């Protein structure tokens, strides 16, 4: 199906084929590795013939990265070039100015956005971004501000978190923002990709390759684990590049992180625990060689609940809770960049029992959310990216 034809189908809100069932046929990149337990990878393909009606709400977005819905149904959407957009359900797009400068080289730029739970009263918003730190250095930072009454400007902007150390790298910034039920803000980070900072995912004196938990006003949140010598913001460690995070219905954090060649991981990070990167992984290096000693398990290091090999390149995730897709209730929806799909996982507690993929080959899905009416919302990562609304046909 050509790009022009797909664009025409999206624009006309025509039904699209939903599901292809051959994704488990691809051979793994690391064929000699073995899962630690049954069902840890390649779950049975879900037999789901749901036809989806896909409507482009807004197009022409420049590499959109993150989104969050305002109480009135409009969406705040980030573009990596440093632009924050306000998009109505009818597709009207405006720009919110006043954000700090970003480093938008390669994977950097303006990243995630999170609306205050009490936005209707406070008009407060948080966002993460790759912040230039001088001399080619940069790092993941989080800022907050108040949306002006005319919605044209962020006011009272303050940077509340700066990942340390800064690094001269243009990759693996993380980063998703998720409020927990206690009002703290989870911030996910990356290992900055290069061999030297990669090792710092195991170093608790740094913020690299970690899940962090901070106060919305800045500083470590109360109730964080006590790890000797650690940065006080650290919740969990040993992560590679976390670009997907959400809360489950019980309020627990779930994440998905990018592996190298193979080894994308689904985790439910718990306080103070070590998730292994780069000591253990179900992936291999881009050269085809092993990561470190080539281990997939080691005492004291946590196993992923699920992993992919080959990768889907995960970005954005949400538990489905809505009325439009009753068969999807409680499923985990994940965006796939390399996989170019919407991935759905069915769960039994912490066990993945089935996997489905929708809209395969129809664009890199950067973020996934559920609208207040139960529609599934997608952001496609492209220079001409889109905000797309999915409902059943």
| Distance of alpha carbon 30 from alpha carbon 44, whole angstroms | 20
d(CA 166, CA 162): 9
Distances in Å between the Cα of 205 and the Cα atoms of 164, 212, 238, 274 are 9, 13, 13, 14
Please answer whether residues 177 and 128 qualify as being in contact, where contact means their C-beta atoms are separated by less than 8 angstroms.
Answer: yes
- Mark whether 207 is an active-site residue: no
Q: How many CA atoms lie within 13 A of 71 on its CB side?
A: 10
Token pair belonging to 246: 């959400």
Active site residues: 172
């Amino acid at each position: 199906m050509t790009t022009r034809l797909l664009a025409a189908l999206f624009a006309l809100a025509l039904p699209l084929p939903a599901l292809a069932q051959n994704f488990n046929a691809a051979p793994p990149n690391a064929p000699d590795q073995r899962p630690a337990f049954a069902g840890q990878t390649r779950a049975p393909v879900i037999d789901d013939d749901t036809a989806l009606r896909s409507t482009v709400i807004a197009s022409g977005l420049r590499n959109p990265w993150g989104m969050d819905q305002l109480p009135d149904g409009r969406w705040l959407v980030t573009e990596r070039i440093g632009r924050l957009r306000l998009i109505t359900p009818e597709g009207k797009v405006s720009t919110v100015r006043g954000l700090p400068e970003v480093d938008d080289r390669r994977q950097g730029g303006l990243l995630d956005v999170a609306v205050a739970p009490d936005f209707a009263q406070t008009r407060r918003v948080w966002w993460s971004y790759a912040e230039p730190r001088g001399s080619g250095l940069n790092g993941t930072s989080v800022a907050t501000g108040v949306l002006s009454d005319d919605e044209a400007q962020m006011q009272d902007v303050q940077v509340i978190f700066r990942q340390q150390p800064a690094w001269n790298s243009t990759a693996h910034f993380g980063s998703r923002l998720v409020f927990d039920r206690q009002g703290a803000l989870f911030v996910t980070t990356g290992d900055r990709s290069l061999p030297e900072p990669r090792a710092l995912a195991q170093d608790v004196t740094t913020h690299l390759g970690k899940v962090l938990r901070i106060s919305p006003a800045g500083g470590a949140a109360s109730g964080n684990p006590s790890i000797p010598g650690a940065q006080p913001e650290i919740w969990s460690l040993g992560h590679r590049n976390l670009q997907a995070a959400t809360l489950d219905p019980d309020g627990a954090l779930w994440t998905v992180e990018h592996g190298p060649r193979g080894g994308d991981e689904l985790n439910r990070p718990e306080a103070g625990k070590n998730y292994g990167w780069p000591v253990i992984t179900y992936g291999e290096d881009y050269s085809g060689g092993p990561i470190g000693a080539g281990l997939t398990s080691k005492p004291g290091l946590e196993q992923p609940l699920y992993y992919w090999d080959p990768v889907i390149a995960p970005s954005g995730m949400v538990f489905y809770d809505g009325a439009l897709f009753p068969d999807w209730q409680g499923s985990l929806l994940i965006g796939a960049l390399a996989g170019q799909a919407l991935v759905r996982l069915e769960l039994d507690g912490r066990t993945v029992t089935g996997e489905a993929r929708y809209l395969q080959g129809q664009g890199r899905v950067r973020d996934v959310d559920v609208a207040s009416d139960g529609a599934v919302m997608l952001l496609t990562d492209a220079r001409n990216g889109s905000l797309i609304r999915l409902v059943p046909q």
